Chains A and B, each alone.
Chain A
Amino acid sequence: MNASSTLVTSRPDRSLTVTDRVARGLGWFSLALGAAEILAPGRLGRALGLEGKERLLQAYGGREIGAGVWALSDTPAPAIWARVAGDLVDLATLAAGLRGADDEQKRNNLVALAAVGGITLVDLLTALSLTAEQSERRGDTGRDYSDRSGFPRGVEQARGLAGQQAVPVDFQVTATAERREEALEPA
């Protein structure tokens, strides 16, 4: 039993694992980046040699916001995988921006490529680790509880043992033919 709790968290006295914390950090990062892409696509585009791609940047911003909200939920794994895919799209877009960029834009663009490359690695490791934790958790133990009736004398003996007298008057809400008959008879 102790072994099972160490499966999911390196420190059993803390419920959040390091991976969980990194996933949340990535969630906030997504929100911030998404906001920048949506609110200042012009400036970003100029800096990176992606002029004329403002709409695209805003769409990417929407994607980041979605991934961010999801990454902050209690099931972040799919959001981090979505971020990995998004990172690859970002890398391709940046690389495309290198063509026809001036020197300063090239420098900015290379810095951005390196940064996104780094983030991609973090995303990938986090996604892999979340997925690994999950499959450990889901792991079919092959256990079944078909011997746990909870009735020391068996189910058949237990059926109806409490009878209807256990239901107090203030909980009787069902219309039954018997109750109707009783109600029709004068007291």
Chain B
Amino acid sequence: MKALVWHGKQDIRHETVPDPAIEAPRDAIIKVTSCAICGSDLHLFHNCIPAMKPGDIVGHEMMGEVVETGSAVTNLRKGERVVIPFTINCDECDQCRRGNYSLCERSNRNGELADKVFGHRTAGLFGYTHLTGGYAGGQAEYLRVPFADSTHIKVPDGMTDEQALFLGDIFPTGWQAAIQADIQPTDTVAIWGAGPVGQMAIRSAILLGAKQVICIDRLPERLSMAEAGGAVPINFEDESVLERLNELTDNRGPDKCIDCVGLEAHASQHIDSMIDRVKQATLMESDRPHVLREMIYVCRGGGVLSIPGVYGGLVDKIPFGMAMNKGLTFRMGQTHVRRWTADLTRRIAEGQIDPSFVITHTAKLEEGPGMYRVFEQKQDSCIKVVLKPN
């Protein structure tokens, strides 16, 4: 079959690879009908996340039709349409039973390596690093789904691919980001990053009843989409984030801050981010945490920092004393996708929200590598790319 294969920094190719096959009784194979490129894929593209290997198939936002099931999979039929959550879960271990699906203790087949590197393992993820199992990803014609009986979302009749696809990652990610912030009706919620995750976080914060939602980015087209979703835009290249936030909150600062940017924050005018760039290039630091620093500084005392943005390793100069003295709460993590599935599927079906609004580009799978560059460079006002393998 054809798939998008990682070969190194900024080097992704459309290539022929072996077809996947059933390897365990709880496996299923799906024929991918739609897949998307995620901001997390860009971190892999830039080789910012350790333990990728040349030859790895990328992609973790995908959906399709079941074509084959292992002997233990009794709740899926051939031909059924499913979205595959990017966090693989067994549904049986202690973490799964708590709802911490992204911490599943059994789905990471490189668990021992992960135990060593992270202290304790996290769940298996598709198309991601070998620290999370090194499972083949879904930017491909076919995908093997381990623990398929619990790692799938059935698509209700009448829902299009475009409406359902993001149930596997960015919609629940934006939702969990807002849920983690425990939004109150009196809250001002500030969201850094107007990429796909930031857009979903804005919509979630609105649904959850925030008094005011503010979104910070520098790309006008992304800010226009943020504003359409009910956010007050701040362009950090034109205005001072601190001053604008104080203006909008009577000098109290936002009650809740959400980082939808992650480890590759961009901030040309700030000296800290230039130092981060040099350190990252010379391997003295793996992540560029400008947004984290800014959130800790601007957040109201007693506030919550919710961090769906991905970090890979080490960060420098985090003003932890400031965070401690201000009594901030940090909540973060890869998304426990399954935990939000029923609720969010219902909201789409009822017409409360239609996540397809975020798609700006659709292309064939073979054009995927070029689309990585388009998405990376924010070319052609690109916000979200969907690829069609078949």
Residues of A that sit less than 8 Å from B by CB: 1-2, 4-9, 11-17, 20, 69-70, 72-74, 134, 136-139, 141, 143-153, 155, 158-164, 166-168, 170-176
Contact = CB atoms under 8 A, between A and B. Distances in A.
9 contacts: A5-B363, A137-B379, A146-B224, A159-B209, A164-B184, A167-B182, A167-B183, A171-B179, A172-B182
Nearest to B365: A13
Interface of B: 9-14, 45-46, 99, 179-180, 182-185, 199, 203-204, 206-209, 220-222, 224-225, 227-230, 255, 277, 281-282, 302, 304, 329, 331, 343, 347, 351-355, 357-358, 360-363, 366-374, 376-383
Nearest to B264: A74
**Which 9 pairs between the two chains have the least Cβ-Cβ distance?**
A5-B370, A160-B209, A12-B370, A137-B379, A150-B357, A137-B377, A13-B14, A145-B225, A15-B369
A155 B209 CA distance: 11
Contacts, number: 198
A167 B183 CA distance: 8
A149 B228 contact: yes
Contact of A162 (B209, B331, B355): B209
B302 A175 contact: yes
Contacts of A159: 206-207, 209, 230
Contact of A150 (B229, B368, B382): B229
A172 B179 CA distance: 8
Contact of B373 (A5, A145, A167): A5
Contacts of A8: 370, 373-374, 377, 379
Contacts of B229: 148-151, 155
Given A7-B380, A16-B10, A144-B221, 12 more contacts: A8-B370, A136-B379, A141-B381, A145-B221, A145-B225, A148-B228, A148-B357, A159-B230, A161-B209, A162-B209, A162-B347, A164-B184
Contact of A12 (B185, B206, B355, B367): B367
Contact of B372 (A15, A146, A147): A15
Given A148-B225, A166-B208, A14 B184 contact: no
A167 B45 CA distance: 34
Nearest to B171: A150
A167 B207 CA distance: 11
A170 B97 CA distance: 13
Given A5-B371, A175-B302, A146 B227 contact: yes
Contacts of A160: 185, 206-209
A4 B360 CA distance: 12
A7 to B, nearest CB: 7
Nearest to A176: B184
A92 B326 CA distance: 57
B353 A151 contact: yes
Contacts of A2: 363, 367
Contacts of A163: 208-209
B361 A4 contact: yes
A173 to B, nearest CB: 5
A149 B358 CA distance: 9
B282 to A, nearest CB: 6
A89 to B, nearest CB: 22
Contact of B352 (A141, A143, A161): A161
Contacts of A141: 221, 380-381
Contacts of A16: 10-11
Nearest to A163: B209
Nearest to A76: B10
Contacts of A137: 373-374, 377-380
B366 A15 contact: no
A139 B379 contact: yes
B203 A158 contact: yes
B13 A4 contact: no
